[in-house]
Every structure is written in structure tokens, then in C-alpha cells.
């Protein structure tokens, strides 16, 4: 029975992925900083689900989680670095602690997960890492500056390790959704969410994670998976549009209507 460990699995995309993979016959590790949510979900799913506490910014948490999970599951086949946070609003109006926390979780958390999991992935019959990037990693987003920067970091790390770890037979891929209907986007202070809308569900993203985990990857398999029609359009246009066009289009997305009418 294949196994998967998902960080930030107590709610949202992580919980949706845990349910989907469980239905597909995986042993599922549900790890989150909220231990109550993980235990509740694991109990709902059944005996092939294991809950655990994980602060992704803490490498010792990762080491403990991976040790206990692999002892229970037998091996680690798929790692999903899903845990993340988002602060929105003007860069200068967001306190510096929140900027630092974004980097600690969204960037250091993914680095920690990849670093700590490699010895286990190398031993597995097949292994894959799937990171949660974002449409915000296509072009830097106003009022989401540090979040966007963190997802660019995830994108870069994914590309780098997908090449580095080819020698181990491990593909490192990511999904890049636009705004998803989760608690993270409630009360967001960014014009982009009003103009682009929130059309994706956690189930939509979970299905793409499952697709990446189960596909027979080859040399021409893309490292990035844009999720949703709008994300695919933005991602593909960014490849062919001149830089000034990308800037102007993102300037339009970011500008409030009142500013445009002046």
C-alpha cells in the first residue's frame, strides 16, 4: 500500500488531499500544527490514516514526524508540502513579524520538509515530492508581496530539486492554483481577489495533486501544474508576453477602481 505524508493537512487543501488519497488506497499521514484537527480527521478516515503534530518551521518536528510515520507506514512514497499562510495588504502596513512568519512557514517549511524527507524517499519503491506553489509565483502580486515572494521561492526550489534529484529517481513537482475557497483567503485585502475571483475548491487542487502523484512522469513531464483556467491563461501568457506587458496587466489587476477613475 503506497503512503503519503501531507503537511498542513488539518483543513483546506491538505484535508481534501488526505481524504482523496485515502479513498485511493493510500496510507495517509495527516500532519499539522493543529493536533486536534488532525486527530479528528484521522478518526473520520479510518485505520490507514495517522495524525501527528508538525510545525513545519521546526526541523526537529519534521525529523520526529518522518520517523514515526515511516515506522507506521513502512515507507514514504509521496510528500506534499502544503502548509502555508497568507497576509494581505500593503507591504508597509503589515508588521515585520508577519513578513518573517510567512517566510518561516512558506519557505523554510518546504525546505525543511524536502531536506528531512530525502533519506526516506531514497529508500522507497517510488517517490515523489509535490509542493504547493501559487499563481502568485507567475508575477509578483501587489498587496501580497511577501506571500508572492515565498511562492516564487517554492517555485525555484521545486525546479532546482526536480533536476538535482533526478539521479535518485525522484520527481519534484508543484501545483500552482489561483485563489482557493479556504479560510486563508477570507477577508483578504488585495484587489486581485476581487477582480480574479475565488472559483477553485480544495477538491479541485487535491485532484491535481493526485494526478501528479500517480502519473508516469517522463523527461517531458512539466515541473509546474497550473490549476484552473485563469491560472493556465496567466501562466502561458507570461511565457510569451514582453515583460512590460506582464507588468501592465498585473498593475491593472492590483489597482482599485477608485484609483483608475482619478
Residue 19 bears catalytic tag: no
Percent of the chain with pLDDT over 90: 68
CB-based contacts of 194: which residues, under 8 Å, 6+ apart?
A: none
Question: What digits encode the pLDDT tens for the residues 181-235?
Answer: 555 555 554 544 554 544 578 999 999 999 999 998 887 888 998 887 666 666 6
Specify the pLDDT at position 93: 94
Q: How many domains does the chain have?
A: 1
Region 141-165 average pLDDT: 94
Task: Give the pLDDT confidence score for residue 181 in this predicted structure.
Answer: 56
CA distances from 228 to 99, 210, 213, 233, 249 (A): 28, 15, 18, 9, 19
Answer yes or no: is pLDDT of 140 > 80: yes
- The closest alpha carbon to 147, from 67, 85, 213, belongs to 85
Least confident of 48-57, 79-88, 133-142: 133-142
Give me the residue label for grid cell 525546505: 111
How confident is the model over 153-181, as a mean pLDDT?
91
Q: How far apart are CA 178 and CA 23, in angstroms?
A: 26
Range of the domain at 163: 3-261
- pLDDT tens sequence across 22-64: 999 999 999 999 999 999 999 999 999 999 999 999 999 999 9
More confident site: 199 or 91 = 91
Residue 86, pLDDT > 60, answer yes
Secondary structure (H, E, C), the chain? CCEEEEECCCCHHHHHHHHHHHHCCCEEEEEECCHHHHHHHHHHHCCCEEEEECCCCCHHHHHHHHHHHHHHHCCCCEEEECCCCCCCCCHHHCCHHHHHHHHHHHHHHHHHHHHHHHHHHHHCCCCEEEEECCHHHCCCCCCCHHHHHHHHHHHHHHHHHHHHHHHHCCEEEEEEECCECCHHHCCCCCHHHHHHCCCECHHHHHHHHHHHHHCCCCCCCCCEEEECHHHHHHHHHHHHCCHHHHHHHHHHHHCCHHHHHC
- Report the relative pairing of strands 78-81 and 3-7 from DSSP bridges: parallel
Q: Which of 29-33, 83-87, 112-116, 248-252 shows the lowest per-residue confidence on average (mean pLDDT)?
A: 248-252
Cell numbers describing residue 202: 480544495
Query: From CA 106, how far away is CA 26, in angstroms rounded?
Result: 26
pLDDT for res 94: 95
Q: For residue 204, give the C-alpha cell.
A: 479541485
Is pLDDT larger for residue 18 or for residue 88?
18
Residue 20: all three cell numbers together: 482523496
pTM to 2 decimal places: 0.85
Please pick, among 147, 230, 232, 256, the residue that the annotation labels catalytic. 147
pLDDT at position 260 is: 39
Please count the residues of the chain.
262
Please give the pLDDT value at position 49: 98
> What pLDDT is stored for residue 178 in this prediction?
76
Q: Could you tell me the three cell numbers for 231?
A: 491560472
Determine whether 147 is an active site residue: yes
* Average pLDDT score over the chain: 86
pLDDT beyond 90 at 18: yes
Mean pLDDT, range 112-137, rounded to an integer: 96
Q: Which residues are registered as beta bridge partners of 200?
A: 180
pLDDT at 179: 57
Q: What is the arrangement of strands in the sheet containing 27-32, beginning at the earlier edge strand? A: 49-53, 27-32, 3-7, 78-81, 128-132, 171-177, 224-227
The active-site residue out of 19, 27, 50, 151 is 151
All three cell numbers of 103, joined, read 517566510
Q: What is the CATH number of the domain that holds 83?
A: 3.40.50.720
Amino acid at each position: 500500500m503506497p503512503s503519503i505524508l501531507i503537511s498542513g493537512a488539518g483543513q483546506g487543501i491538505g484535508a481534501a488531499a488526505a481524504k482523496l488519497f485515502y479513498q485511493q488506497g493510500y496510507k495517509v499521514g495527516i500532519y499539522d500544527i493543529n493536533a486536534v484537527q488532525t486527530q479528528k480527521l484521522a478518526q473520520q478516515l479510518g485505520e490507514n490514516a495517522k495524525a501527528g503534530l508538525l510545525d513545519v518551521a521546526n526541523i526537529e518536528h519534521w525529523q520526529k514526524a518522518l520517523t514515526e510515520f515511516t515506522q507506521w507506514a513502512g515507507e514514504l512514497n509521496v510528500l506534499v508540502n502544503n502548509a502555508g499562510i497568507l497576509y494581505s495588504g500593503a507591504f508597509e502596513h503589515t508588521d515585520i513579524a508577519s513578513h518573517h512568519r510567512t517566510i518561516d512557514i512558506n519557505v523554510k517549511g518546504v525546505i525543511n520538509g524536502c531536506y528531512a524527507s530525502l533519506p526516506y524517499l531514497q529508500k522507497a519503491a517510488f517517490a515523489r515530492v509535490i509542493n504547493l506553489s501559487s499563481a502568485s509565483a507567475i508575477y509578483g502580486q501587489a498587496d501580497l508581496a511577501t506571500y508572492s515572494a515565498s511562492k516564487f521561492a517554492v517555485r525555484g526550489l521545486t525546479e532546482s530539486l526536480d533536476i538535482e534529484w533526478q539521479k535518485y529517481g525522484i520527481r519534484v513537482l508543484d501545483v500552482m492554483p489561483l485563489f482557493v475557497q479556504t479560510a486563508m483567503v477570507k477577508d483578504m485585502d488585495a484587489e486581485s481577489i476581487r477582480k480574479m475571483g475565488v472559483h477553485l475548491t480544495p477538491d479541485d487542487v487535491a485532484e491535481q495533486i493526485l494526478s501528479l502523484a500517480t502519473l508516469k512522469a517522463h523527461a517531458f513531464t512539466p515541473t509546474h501544474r497550473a490549476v484552473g483556467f485563469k491560472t493556465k491563461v496567466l501562466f502561458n501568457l507570461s511565457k510569451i508576453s514582453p515583460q512590460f506587458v506582464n507588468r501592465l496587466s498585473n498593475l491593472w489587476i492590483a489597482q482599485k477602481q477608485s484609483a483608475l477613475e482619478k
